[in-house]
Amino acid sequence: MSLLPAGRDRLAEEAAYLAKSHRRVKRRPHAADIMKGESFFDAERRESRDVWGEFYKTEWQTPEGLITGAELMSALRDHLAELQEEQCCYCRQPLLKGGFARPIEHVLSRSEHPRFTLHFWNLAVSCERCNRLKGKTQSETFARSLSSYPGHVDFISQYHPRLHAFDAHIKYAAIIQNGVNIPLYAGRTVHGRNLCSQFLHAAALEMTLLSPKSKLYGDVTTIQNFIVSHDEAAIDRVQAVQIALIEAMVNAATG
């Protein structure tokens, strides 16, 4: 079964990563060989154990100098963030600089599926908030003994940021006014609705409460409940009200 949706070439996307697998150009061929040797694309050849911390600390001596696991992870983070247009894979907020601010996210958790802790298609880049709130949350129940990584059609209820198109599953809008940021999310599919209910609505609420003006808990909860009840059409209505208010303000200001 194909790993990717129609129109995407798995081998081409893997090759694009390998071409940028180290920040130093001369070390990239050696870094690519290391990742191939680590079976980065072939989970069936890996042991079913969590090697994330071990890989981070590993060092390899190459003709172009020492390559460390930390350097390989940094280059991987750069590549994934570029694929995501420097946005969080879940909430779509801009990613901040620094590893802590944009952690590498394991779509299938390390504890439940240790075989995939160092697998190209199981990794994305999230913001610190979504990474923290998501935790071990996952909608799909795959057997721990699973050896090959599931394809996009196997994720029947869980949104996968590497295999699914965000806009196909989630509608996103934001109200930003006078220092207050209110992100709004509505699920378009079961995948999107699960993502929203599991942690995306909580992330939106946290973002709003951390805005410069944060005495909005009750109002935001009301809006979010309205969206849950009416799904994506609710965002269209909220946006329409916002546009009408802005137009009214402009008309009043210009006479």
What is the average per-residue pLDDT within 38-56?
A: 94
pTM metric for this prediction:
0.81
Q: Which of these ranges, 70-79, 148-157, 170-179, 221-230, has the smallest mean pLDDT?
A: 221-230
Q: How many domains does the chain have?
A: 2
Q: Select the more confidently predicted residue: 178 or 206.
A: 206
Provide the domain limits for residue 182. Answer: 164-255
Q: Which residues is 125 bridged to in the sheet?
A: 104
Q: What angle do CA 173, 176, 178 make, to 5 degrees?
A: 170
Residue 4 has pLDDT above 70, yes or no: yes
Q: Helices (H), strands (E): how many in the chain? A: 10, 6
106 and 42 in a single domain? The answer is yes
- The larger pLDDT score, comparing residue 49 to residue 178, is at 49
The residue that leads in pLDDT, 251 or 78, is 78
**82 lies in some domain:** yes
Residues 75 and 171 in one domain: no
Percent of the chain scoring above 90 in pLDDT? 62
Q: Is the pLDDT at 171 greater than 90, yes or no?
A: yes
Is the domain of 117 the same as that of 176? no
Answer whether residue 159 is part of any domain: no
Query: 23 and 75 in contact (C-beta within 8 Å)?
Result: yes
Question: Is residue 250 in a domain?
Answer: yes
Residue 200 lies in a domain: yes
End-of-domain residue from the set 105, 122, 151: 151
Where does a domain end: 104, 125, 151?
A: 151
Tell whether 53 and 115 lie within a shared domain: yes
